[in-house]
Structure 1
Amino acid sequence: MVIGPGGAGVSVTAASGALSRSGHHRSGGARSVAVPEQDTLLITVDRCSPTADLLGVFRQPDEPVAVSARLHLLSLDRLVLLERTWSTFTAVLTETVARSKVALPGVGSVADIDAGELSTLPGVEDFLVLRRIRDEAVSGQWRRIVVDASGLGDPFEFLRAASVLSQALNRLWPRHRRLAAAAERPVMAQLTAAVDAIDRDCVDVTELVTDPHAVAMHVVVGADHRGEHALPHLLATVDVMGLALRSVMINHGVGAGHEAGEDGARVDRLRAAVGDDVEVAELPRLDVPIDRAARLRKLGVGLPVPNGRPFGSGAAQVTEATDGGSGTARVYELSWRQRLPDPDGLQLGRSGDDLLVTVGGFRHPVRLPSVLRRCVVVDAMWDGAELTVRFMPDPALWPQGR
């Protein structure tokens, strides 16, 4: 997954990374493993993406297009995905209304909305795009998928769309009420099953996005003042979401740059912001614009593969504090590495089984381990590298005698 602010060169980086490995074979010892016929799939989610033109192929929404023997391009169209899914869902609603002997408030009105009338449903389009990416990832057709997430207002809002939709579904129509409705009115079973399927897909997509064994996150920033300002905030959001960051690409861009000393000092500061546990690569400054596949190959971007190492809140640890007592006087600490470019902007809250963490204006729910779900937050501290949140058992929920 390749992300970054607009204009940083995300599309070029993703396309070059897909091309540079699309023809490679794996080798292990004396035995080589042949790659499948369809080796790499490059996915774009921007309807105005220039990738098809750069690769010299026609853009065909929602259908993989062969670029070479080993590389295919899939351009996803959000509106097409939304219309197809809505048509399927309203077919279920229509059948439910037709079979029901009693009036179902609101269901008939929703079923009457035509797919062509839809222009946008906030968050749903992002979920459908992520679900299509998930479907390609588990299809067994591709050894490797590169996702170009450029063209999005906020790539992190895109990545968490599935979890937001799941929360909305379960607040508007909680699962226990869906099951009760299906038990009381068998005609509702098909509708509740459809909603449950969407909810399961949301959970599945959320787990995939944060799985360090399956997904590697790559952040692209420019080697300029804007990139230097944006990178700490991007890294802080990566931490709180628990995304498996594998590399940061510093793009020097096209055309004349700044003085060599100024560029070098800025790159040093960018590298220092990343740290030693994430790979950093520099994309050289080019004299001519990248307008064809040959120049993309020449750029030679390498995208490190997933390594299975959890990151940020995905690697959170729970320990029992030494200054706590026993029973309901115990103190538990939840800790993870968290960058905070603006420590004063850190906010914590609680919603059910989630700890709501706000970093740099971005709020993300961190699911609490089971032992902490029966606790209350008492305080938090940040030592410059690690965020620690302290909890104490809630007497009303804590098992007696423990």
Structure 2
Amino acid sequence: MVLGPGGCGVSVVATAGAAERPRAPRDSRQSVTRPARHTLLVTLDRNSPTASWAGVYRQPGEVVAVSQYLHLLTLDRLDLSEQTWAAFVDVLSESVRRSKVALPGVGTIAGVDAAELTALPGIEDFLLLRRIRDEATSGQWQRIVVDCSGVGDPFAFLRAAAVLSQALNRFWPRHRRLAAAAERPAMAALTAAVDAIDRDCADLSELITDASAVAVHLVVGADDRGCRLVAPMLADIDVMGLPLTSVVVNEAGGPGSQDVVAQLNDLVAERSESAGVVVGVRAVGRAPDTIDRLARLRKLGVTLAAPHGVPQGSAAAMVESVGGAGVQATYRMSWPQGLPDPDGLVLGRSGDDLLVSVSGFRHPIRLPSMLRRCTVVDAEWDGVRLAISFVPDPAVWPKR
């Protein structure tokens, strides 16, 4: 996944990295078992220039062949929303038809036509992620490059599945869904549909933090804005547990960019040491010619490193007992976490999720089953790791 603040060259880096020709296998016999389709480039921006660079027509939702090794998939959030809403309305309508008891609000919702939708807040991002997940698990591709430009805040986009799952289980908890299906068989189809969405949310949240399958590449500009934004973005990456693999510095900023690259290199090196994994910093120079086709993008020499397999941030959280037993015990959950503004750290609790806010960015972290029966009592940060202390809640803690 290639992401970064708007205007820093995310699309250029993603497309150039995807256009890199694959290396020939050492053993020619491997080519027999390799998929015919090698790289899929996914763009989420409806105004993306990628199709123009590739010299193909833009066909939202359809995979388009660009070359022997590269294919392009342009995703349209409105089209995905309409298709999914139409299928969901069919389930609602069937529930209304089969129910002998009026279901409050369901009939009204079922009456909303897909063509009337302009947006489904938060749902579109989940649908985009789910389509990307489906392509990743299809077995057709050796590599998928996701250009996360055009989605506003890329971190808000990537946390969409976690936030949607939290909302579903807050407004209609799973035990109530199961009870409703048991009491009213007509609700079974609707309950199954909501459960399927919840499972997809959990699957997506697990996938984007899987360091063995996903590599995140952060693109920043070699200017004052890049220096200012990189620290809070690294903090967001930590709290989400994203497997950061490299930082790509766009040197198109002109004179003085080398000094900025050196500063960013020091910052990322410090963060890499605390995270226990080496994150490469690579500079991409200004293109000698106007970027209007893939041949010129390849000249930038962008290489997107493969996943390194080391969990980072909250995905590498450790839980340990620090004293006591039973309801008198104290547990500590900790992970490597950057905090550019320690005073801006805010912790909250919503059901089974720990809500962590870092520099104005809030992310729900699903707690291990043991800590779900505990309450938060303290938190401390030593400059490298964030440690949160829990004590058992006597009302729900198992009695021996």
Shorter-chain TM band: over 0.9
Aligned length: 392
SS in 2 for 1:379: strand
Letter in 1 for 2:267: A
Kindly indicate whether the alpha-carbon contact (under 8 Å) linking 1:52 and 1:59 is maintained by their aligned counterparts in 2: yes
State the match for 1:10 in structure 2.
10
SS in 1 for 2:249: strand
Kindly indicate whether the alpha-carbon contact (under 8 Å) linking 1:381 and 1:387 is maintained by their aligned counterparts in 2: yes
CA distance, structure 1, for counterparts of residue 190 and residue 326 of structure 2: 46
- Percent identity over the alignment? 63
CA distance, structure 1, for counterparts of residue 37 and residue 288 of structure 2: 34
Q: What displacement does 1:347 show?
A: 1.2
CA distance 1:397–1:96, shift in 2 (3 Å): closer
Q: What displacement does 1:63 show?
A: 0.2
CA distance, structure 1, for counterparts of residue 113 and residue 324 of structure 2: 61
State the match for 1:82 in structure 2.
81
CA distance 1:183–1:342, shift in 2 (3 Å): same
Letter in 1 for 2:44: V
State the match for 2:172 in structure 1.
173
State the match for 1:305 in structure 2.
306
State the match for 2:38 in structure 1.
39
CA distance, structure 2, for counterparts of residue 159 and residue 272 of structure 1: 27
Q: Deviations over 1:230-280 (max 9, x none)?
A: 1101100000000111111001127xx11xxx3322111101111242111
CA distance, structure 1, for counterparts of residue 383 and residue 330 of structure 2: 22
Kindly indicate whether the alpha-carbon contact (under 8 Å) linking 2:163 and 2:364 is maintained by their aligned counterparts in 1: no
CA distance, structure 2, for counterparts of residue 191 and residue 374 of structure 1: 30
CA distance, structure 2, for counterparts of residue 364 and residue 348 of structure 1: 10
CA distance, structure 2, for counterparts of residue 320 and residue 33 of structure 1: 51
Deviates more, 1:329-338 or 1:108-117: 329-338
Where do 1:205-284 residues align within 5 Å? 205-253=204-252, 257-258=254-255, 262-275=256-269, 276=272, 277-284=278-285
Give the superposed CA RMSD.
1.7
State the match for 2:275 in structure 1.
none
Deviates more, 1:131-140 or 1:263-272: 263-272
State the match for 1:60 in structure 2.
59
Where do 1:182-221 residues align within 5 Å? 182-221=181-220
Kindly indicate whether the alpha-carbon contact (under 8 Å) linking 1:342 and 1:360 is maintained by their aligned counterparts in 2: yes
Letter in 1 for 2:79: V
Kindly indicate whether the alpha-carbon contact (under 8 Å) linking 1:27 and 1:33 is maintained by their aligned counterparts in 2: no
Deviates more, 1:159-168 or 1:119-128: 159-168
Kindly indicate whether the alpha-carbon contact (under 8 Å) linking 1:179 and 1:192 is maintained by their aligned counterparts in 2: yes
Letter in 1 for 2:297: L
Q: What displacement does 1:198 show?
A: 1.4
Q: What displacement does 1:326 show?
A: 4.0
CA distance 1:24–1:175, shift in 2 (3 Å): same
CA distance, structure 2, for counterparts of residue 179 and residue 330 of structure 1: 34
Letter in 2 for 1:309: V
Deviates more, 1:42-51 or 1:268-277: 268-277
SS in 2 for 1:364: strand
Q: What displacement does 1:95 show?
A: 2.1
CA distance, structure 1, for counterparts of residue 71 and residue 238 of structure 2: 32
CA distance 1:191–1:320, shift in 2 (3 Å): closer
Kindly indicate whether the alpha-carbon contact (under 8 Å) linking 1:219 and 1:248 is maintained by their aligned counterparts in 2: yes
SS in 1 for 2:370: helix
Matched, 1:111 2:105: no
CA distance, structure 2, for counterparts of residue 129 and residue 332 of structure 1: 37
Q: What displacement does 1:31 show?
A: 6.2
Q: What displacement does 1:400 show?
A: 4.3
CA distance, structure 1, for counterparts of residue 88 and residue 146 of structure 2: 27
CA distance, structure 1, for counterparts of residue 73 and residue 166 of structure 2: 29
Deviates more, 1:360-369 or 1:144-153: 360-369
Kindly indicate whether the alpha-carbon contact (under 8 Å) linking 1:331 and 1:390 is maintained by their aligned counterparts in 2: yes
Gapped regions of structure 2 (runs ≥ 5): 273-277
State the match for 1:391 in structure 2.
390
CA distance, structure 1, for counterparts of residue 244 and residue 289 of structure 2: 30
CA distance, structure 2, for counterparts of residue 56 and residue 349 of structure 1: 49
CA distance 1:329–1:147, shift in 2 (3 Å): same
State the match for 1:146 in structure 2.
145
Q: What displacement does 1:98 show?
A: 2.2
Deviates more, 1:188-197 or 1:128-137: 188-197
SS in 2 for 1:309: coil
Deviates more, 1:1-10 or 1:359-368: 359-368
Q: What displacement does 1:386 show?
A: 1.2
Q: What displacement does 1:146 show?
A: 0.4
Q: What displacement does 1:367 show?
A: 1.9
CA distance 1:96–1:374, shift in 2 (3 Å): closer
Kindly indicate whether the alpha-carbon contact (under 8 Å) linking 2:346 and 2:356 is maintained by their aligned counterparts in 1: yes
State the match for 2:20 in structure 1.
20
CA distance, structure 2, for counterparts of residue 327 and residue 92 of structure 1: 46
CA distance 1:171–1:112, shift in 2 (3 Å): same
Gapped regions of structure 1 (runs ≥ 5): none
Q: Deviations over 1:179-232 (max 9, x none)?
A: 222222222212211121112111111111111111111100011111111110
Q: Deviations over 1:38-57 (max 9, x none)?
A: 11100000111111011111
CA distance 1:144–1:109, shift in 2 (3 Å): same
Kindly indicate whether the alpha-carbon contact (under 8 Å) linking 2:222 and 2:258 is maintained by their aligned counterparts in 1: no
Q: Provide the TM-score with structure 2 as the length reference.
A: 0.93
Q: Provide the TM-score with structure 1 as the length reference.
A: 0.93
Q: Deviations over 1:121-164 (max 9, x none)?
A: 10001011001001111111111100000011100111011111
Q: What displacement does 1:317 show?
A: 1.0
